[in-house]
Amino acid sequence: MKKSWIVIAIIIIIGVLLYSWVKGNYNQMVTQSETVDKHWADVENVYQRRADLIPNLVATVKGYASHERETLEGVINARAKATQTTINAGELTPESMAAFQQAQDGLSSALSRLMVVVERYPDLKANQNFLELQAQLEGTENRITIERQKFNEAARQYNTYIKLFPKNMLANIFGFDVKPYFEAQQGAETAPKVEF
């Protein structure tokens, strides 16, 4: 009789320890997944800030360079495409990230073309509104870089955590998937030519 109580006690202790281990690891996976989702929301926030600055920038440039219609329309169209391409944080996949990044890269490219056009208009470059918008846009681009780095770091920590053995078995059981990273734009390894 005493042996059966010892066996029951051991089974209960093992059960409690196993439950605690599963609960702790599951909760840590949830916490890290939510951290990645929060950083993704921060990334979207700064991209939205950039998109919100663009109409004012285009309007300011339009006043000085109205015959640069093609470039201005390109920026407006790229902004529309970039703001239409959104991803729910729970649906981050490599494919959806690539589509999002492609839309944002298209907007960045259109903005670069706009800045080239601006170089032809010294009065515009001296305009206080334009200078302020340009500074805000530059600051936003820096924020985008920082938020993307934070997102990638949170995704790396989460991905590492769910891939480690034996946590990878729990991640598979509970449906925790690897989060994709932001990757450098193709050709980013080549320094751009800057001409003044």
Closest CA to 121 of 68, 53, 192: 68
Mapped onto helix, strand or coil, the DSSP state of residue 193 is coil
Question: What total number of domains does the chain contain?
Answer: 1
Return the pLDDT at 12. 94
Q: Which two tokens stand for residue 16?
A: 């409690």
163 vs 147: CA distance, rounded Å: 24
Q: What is the pLDDT along the chain (196 residues), one digit of tens a residue?
A: 788 889 999 999 999 999 999 999 999 999 999 999 899 889 888 888 888 888 877 777 777 666 566 777 777 788 887 877 777 777 788 888 888 888 888 888 888 877 777 777 777 666 777 778 788 888 888 888 899 899 999 999 999 999 989 999 999 889 898 888 887 665 544 444 434 3
Return the pLDDT at 23. 94
Q: At 92, which CATH number?
A: 1.20.1440.20
Give pTM, 2 decimals. Answer: 0.71
Sign, CA torsion 180/185/190/194: negative
In a domain, 187, yes or no: no
Owning domain of residue 73:
2-174
- Using the structure block, give the residue that is written with the tokens 């800030």: 49
Closest CA to 123 of 63, 45, 35, 166: 63
